[in-house]
Amino acid sequence: MGVSMRQVITGYHRDEAGDWVAQLACGHFQHVRHTPPWVNRPWVVTATGRAAMLGSALECRKCDEGAPPDCR
């Protein structure tokens, strides 16, 4: 199994359901939900928390799959 590609968070937007989506440097989007106990991301629920995570890297499965950039 290979190493997962990590990409930097460059911004955020909300999807049609109001959930937060991270915009990654590679052009892919990734939902960043706080839904304990499955996903623990308390930083996503506040503007301060989201701002603090800008520049942090997330694993990008779409890069691993060679997917084209997402469009909004």
- What's the whole-model pTM score? 0.88
pLDDT score for 35: 87
What distance in Å separates the CA atoms of residue 19 and residue 63, rounded to the nearest whole number? 22
Tokens 């996503």 belong to residue: 44
Structure token pair of residue 65? 């799959």
Per-residue pLDDT tens over the stretch 9-38: 999 999 999 999 999 999 999 999 988 888
Is the pLDDT score of 2 beyond 80? no
The mean of the pLDDT values for the chain is: 93
